[in-house]
Structure 1
């Protein structure tokens, strides 16, 4: 009964508070649109950005950018500090971590400069969240502790509670569960004392995580359900989805599989409707475990496959975001080092100027005292000029050396980037099919997969292994072309003898998609090429045609002469490409990891077209492509043909 009364009271308070905030937002919107005084409008822009940055991120971004621009034009550093702090958090919510770091760092430095403890603490929370995304929990905890101390010093409940919750969350990730529980409960008590509700649900979710880590399942379930019922965190769907999969996991560990499936189903629905991939990954993982416990191996395998594919894709995106964040951090650190260097240099110049002034004064006194001393100062001044000229020459030399070092640094960075892209392929695109094959073999070895079930998925494994073979062969060919180069051996070659092995290799892929390949090429057609390189080109182009063809469609392969050239055409009737995609490929802007997914989610490395175009250039051939979205793609390669009389002479 008491719990029901408490829940009703909190709901009433939350309704009043949200209504008050909505009225304030509406009022501020009118002021922004009608205010003529720039200073008042700037203050209003910062206030409304702060109020809506958790509710309407895109609108908050627009208001925040306007506030920053207006603060810069007015030269108002205090309002600029608030605008940068708001934008730092908005960019974090949008996943643009490099911009988030730059803006949050600027807000932090401005907060220190103007001794504004609130804005400094808010910026520290932003920076701590970014360290959390990099899994640098030590730095994150350090930032949140500092922000918490600032909140206590200025007695600001919002900053204090926000810092406590973030501190508890990060401590739970490093295994300091008792400390995490203490800070989370302290946050709840602060909420109660200050009559605030914004962070209640978040605090309870953290406490539930701690109970779950301690295997106190009943306490964890009770806490999660309470957090879900009050849902005070602005009714965010992402919060509900995060609690659903946690409840599903807790009930699974407890052995109540029906309730587990019920909560996981709710979580999956909310996550899929709103595109919450992090929560969906966790949901698929627990669903795979639940169905495995129920003995439904086929369903468990499907959920495990969904989990693995979505996790790999998300890890790729997170890795890119973390790389951008790391680059931003390094750039900021570099900028700070350069500023420190300039400050030191300015100090040295000031000392140098002071020294010169003293000498001028001494020279004036010397003129009065003695003409001879004047002559000596004249000579000394000439020596000083020569020294300055030598110093200037040395500075020019240093600048030149600095540019050479920066150039070499850029070359090294490009080399490291290429290495990272290759490692990313080896770590993700090539790992997934091997992992799937291993999982099936493990199931076969443990006799948990029947022969009928294996036959049901064998065609998927065959397709994945074929794709793996093709990717590895492309990577090896590309690596050889980059590191060693190719010794091209041009010779008259029968075109059919090049095409046939490619058709044999890719025949299974075509059959599995019920694709008909029409080959209309004269078996006497000869071209002057390197047979091995041309076979790689044809195989990649045909593989792409199959990959982007719809099930039950056809692919046409034919040739025609154009003067001394022999044109080989590979035409599919599949997905096709937009004008932007086609222009990108023809301009040579396709790089590693930019491969699109096929009609049946086939994956590639993005090397195929690069290899084909590169090898055609080595053989003196030409490459052209015509495509239309939804109608298919036609690729034409032009090669040096061998005339009919020449063929007869060779025969």
Structure 2
């Protein structure tokens, strides 16, 4: 249904509050009234809530009212998060958390931890999200009110579900439902029942799911909550389709679409299109199924294209700004050189005039002039070197731009053209259901590869144009390895490749965390000190590369071996290996790429990006390869100082 903030009760109507605001004389009173007004707008108008938060921050800062500043940052964090501006939201939430901890305001600190967890979940950084939700839960248990505990259980369940750990998600959601029923909290009841219905369907229990969802629907209708009703109807449709009750499921999906359009909920509109397409496909009404599928794709593309267009505009703006700055630097240096040349000429003229009147001082002025000329020549040489350096930087940026345009024009155009061809085939009414299923699966594989290419492309472009800031901290490398192995298991199974982690043998399916903690067979934590996001990208690229060049029956293994000062991580495959005459190009060229064993294509960015990220984190990377027998990539990472 969606992640919940602890404070969800609607404040009194702002008309009354604005009247109180006019009568308030103390800045602290005015700041508190602004907070109450902002609370009214939290879940209905993010821009208005943000405006109230900014006004509150101005007043609280002027009055040195620290608690008011913390509440203002809390409001602004919620508003930015609702608008999808995650960096701004995190900045405000972290500022609010620091102030609340300084003041010892435990309840406010819990709210901040929960809000930060929501932002990290939206950003798909699930380990950090779970950490902050657990901190919020620990704080909520210090208070007699159980509402905060229930909401944090719901948020933990949502995050585990997003990470595909459904058993843990159901455990926490049932715990939240028990508390919500005990305290008769309508919001908690509706959210936990709706989530339980969704998770039960996804876990293969659609009949049990419908029982939960019917209760959730009754609560949402009584509360006139169209968002909640749309969510429930979407999940009821999915449960009916799992039971092959297609007519009933289509009816529920149509209701969800109507409710979502009332409140302009784009995500629920897209979800309703998806369920309607699935339902009509189940009835073999493929024209209608394809129509709703096209609507879903069009809506999804509009949301996706807006985000990617924003990122590309940001990259282009960064390049243009650097280019303009370089041009300004060149103009400034030319002006300085001209001024210095004029000064030198002026000095020489003074010297000639003085030599007529004071011949006796001629030698003195001559020495002085020669010294000045030497200094000017040295300065000119330094400036020329600086100009040359700037020119080389501009050439490098231009090469980055050309590489970006090349990849966008070739590597992205090709999969998009392929997808267009798939869609054209699907529009043919003569295709059978099996053919539609086959082409849909191919479309999914194509989209997955394109998504990986975009991730590498954007990360590499940012590193080349803006530089990479390394945020090193201790983390368990085993968790990152296990997370990446789960992500590629389906692809390994499709190519019939054995995937082995730390010598545990081939994996037979995704490992889901228990609701009560890690399984007894989980590897002991192995800490490294590095930037977790960067190392996650290194491991993902190396594993994807190993799968790409492995054949049916080959083995891909991932091992982490601790040492005294560092940990060595090895990704080894028994695939086709790297030709000897190509091995010196692996890390030095971003244009070198070859097709995989299933004709997979690449951009040439992955391995050069891996080398850059490992070295940024104080490690080294290398490889050993024998054509026809496989390749092993090994990189090292430093251990924490206290380890």
Superposition TM-score, scaled by structure 1 size: 0.49
Larger Rg, first or second structure (1 or 2): 1
Superposition TM-score, scaled by structure 2 size: 0.49
